[in-house]
Structure 1
Amino acid sequence: MDALGHDFADPSLLERALTHSSIANRARPDNQRLEFLGDRVLALVVAEALLAEDAKANEGQIAPRFNALVRKETCAEIAAEVGVGEALILGRSEAMTGGRRKTALLGDAMEAVIAAIYLDAGMEAARGVILRLWGPRVAGAAKDARDAKTRLQEWAQAEGLDLPRYAVIDRRGPDHKPVFTVEVRVEGHGAASAEARSKRDAEQAAAADLLGKVSDE
Structure 2
Amino acid sequence: MKRSAEISALEGRIGYEFKQVQLLQRALIHSSMSGPNREDNQRLEFLGDRVLGLVMAEALLDKDNKATEGQLAPRFNALVRKETCADVAREFEFGEALKLGRSERLSGGRRKMALLGDAMEAVIAAVYMDGGFSEAKSLVLRLWGKRIDSVEEDARDPKTSLQEWAQARRMPPPAYIEVSRSGPDHQPVFTIEARLENGETCQATAGSKRLAEQAAAKALLERLEKS
Q: Provide TM-score, normalisation by structure 2.
A: 0.68
Q: How does 1:51-62 map to 2 (within 5 A)?
A: 51-62=61-72
Task: State whether residues 23 and 91 of structure 1, in contact with CA within 8 Å, keep that contact through their aligned partners in structure 2.
Answer: yes
| Contact 1:165 1:185 survives alignment (8 Å) | no
Q: In 2, Cα distance between the equivalents of 1:74 and 1:98? A: 19
Is contact 1:148–1:207 with CA below 8 Å preserved after alignment? no
State how far apart, in whole Å, the 1-side matches of 2:99 and 2:78 are.
27
Match of 1:203 in 2: none
Cα displacement string for residues 76-108 of structure 1 (whole angstroms, at most 9, x for unaligned residues): 000011111110000111111100000000000
User: CA 1:88 to 1:214, structure 2 compared with 1: closer, same or farther past 3 Å?
Assistant: farther
Match of 1:93 in 2: 103
Q: What TM-score, normalized to structure 1?
A: 0.71
CA–CA distance in structure 2, aligned partners of residues 135 and 209 of structure 1: 28
How far 1:135 moved relative to its partner? 2.6
Give the aligned length: 178
Aligned partner of 1:17 in structure 2 is: 27
Report the Cα offset of residue 165 of structure 1.
6.8
Q: Does 1:48 align with 2:85?
A: no
2: CA distance between counterparts of 1:100 and 1:30?
16
What secondary structure is seen at the aligned counterpart in 2 of 1:79? Answer: helix
Give 1:137-176 correspondences, 5 Å limit. Answer: 137-141=147-151, 144-146=152-154, 148=156, 166=173
| Matches of 2:16 and 2:219, distance apart in 1 | 30
Q: 1:210 to 1:59 in 2, by over 3 A?
A: farther
CA distance in 2, matches of 1:149, 1:20: 28
Match of 2:92 in 1: 82
- Distance change (3 Å), C-alpha of 1:190 and 1:10: same
Residue 108 (1) aligns with residue 118 (2): yes
Bigger RCO (CA 8 Å, 6+ sep): 1
SS in 1 for 2:142: helix
1:30 lines up with 2:40 in the alignment: yes
Q: Deviations over 1:4-38 (max 9, x none)?
A: 11000011000000000001012110000000000
Gaps of 5+ in 1: 157-161, 168-183, 195-205
What's the counterpart of residue 188 of structure 1? 202
The AA in structure 2 aligned to 1:78 is: V
Separation (CA, whole Å) in 2 of partners of 1:87 and 1:207: 29
Q: In 2, are the aligned partners of 1:85 and 1:100 still within 8 Å (CA)? A: yes
Residues 149 and 42 of structure 1, relative CA distance in 2, 3 Å threshold: closer
Root-mean-square deviation (Å): 3.4
**Percent identity among equivalent residues?**
52
1: CA distance, partners of 2:69 / 2:156 = 13
Q: After the TM superposition, which parts of structure 1 deviate over 3 Å for at least 4 consecutive aligned residues? A: 144-150, 162-167, 189-194, 206-215
Partner SS for 1:188: strand
Paired residue secondary structure (2:60): helix
1:63 aligned partner: 73
Q: Is the 8 A contact 1:23 1:89 kept in 2?
A: yes
